Amino acid sequence: MRASAFISASAGILLVLLLLSAGCGQRPTSGSNTSTGFQPFWDATTVAGGTPVPTTPDLGTVVEVTFETVTITPEPPATIDQVTYVEVYHKEYAFKGNTTGLEYSLNHPPLLIDVTVKPVNITRTTSVRDVTCQPTEYNLCLKSVKVTYPDPNAWFTIKVKPQGSTQVVAEDGFARDYDVGFEKRLTVRSPGNYFIELSGNQVSVDVQMRVAT
């Protein structure tokens, strides 16, 4: 009697264990999470054969932005050559150690003063050896040549001053404290009454004055 009761109890326990193991191995139905209490962190898409495959989570929309580099070139300021000028004075002077001057009322600056200096040239004759000749006792192989060069005493200065003032607002010249270039240009950019002083020696000078229109 006791043996029968023991066998019945063992069979009951074994049946319970088999039922529990069968319940744990069963896959939950797709879309249902209440049977096991397990909540997946992704959605599943069922493909052929019934195998769920995780879908790619939505990471947002990527917008491609193209930047275009635009170079802005500022308009350059007007240069002297881009401005129209009119001649207001033109004269040639000869200097032999003297000074002269002129006055000008500048209402439309800038004022351009273009000067061309022509120094007095000196020509002299000198003897040089002829390299194509073979010197002898009676022939030194010398020949006469003429040499022309600016007078070493030639010089010129031009200074622009406000009327009644000793201040120099523009100046240039030839030789002495200046270079020996023949072409000069002075620019006066402020309106006003000016005195233009010209001095020189052994030079002739062409003076041209122009103002903006």
Helix, strand, coil shares of the chain as percentages rounded to 5?
Answer: 15, 45, 45
Walk along the chain (213 residues) and give the pLDDT tens digit of each residue.
544 555 555 555 655 555 555 544 445 444 444 444 444 444 445 445 555 555 555 555 555 555 555 555 555 555 656 788 999 999 999 999 999 999 999 999 999 999 999 999 999 998 888 888 888 877 778 888 999 999 999 999 999 999 999 999 999 999 999 999 999 999 999 999 999 999 999 999 999 999 988
Residue ranges of domains in the chain, CATH in brackets: 84-121+150-212 (2.60.120.380)
Contact present, 154 and 174 (Cβ < 8 Å): yes
Which is it for strands 183-188 and 170-174: parallel, antiparallel or unpaired?
A: unpaired
Q: What pLDDT, on the 0 to 100 scale, is given for residue 141?
A: 85
The two three-digit tokens of residue 203, written as one number: 């030079």
DSSP 159-210: EEEETT----SEEEEESTTS---SEEEEEE-S-EEEEEEEEEEEEEEEEEEE
Q: What pLDDT, on the 0 to 100 scale, is given for residue 213?
A: 83
Hey, what's the torsion of the CAs at 141, 146, 147, 150, to 10 degrees? 170
Q: Does the global pTM surpass 0.75?
A: no
* CB neighbours of residue 180 within 10 Å: 13
| CA dist., res. 198 & res. 183, Å (int) | 15
The two three-digit tokens of residue 102, written as one number: 């002129």
Q: What pLDDT, on the 0 to 100 scale, is given for residue 173?
A: 97
Q: How far is the CA of 202 from the CAs of 45, 95, 98, 112, 125, in angstroms?
A: 108, 6, 10, 25, 21
Amino acid identity at 136: T
Q: What pLDDT, on the 0 to 100 scale, is given for residue 127?
A: 86
Which is it for strands 44-46 and 170-174: parallel, antiparallel or unpaired?
A: unpaired
Contact present, 196 and 160 (Cβ < 8 Å): yes
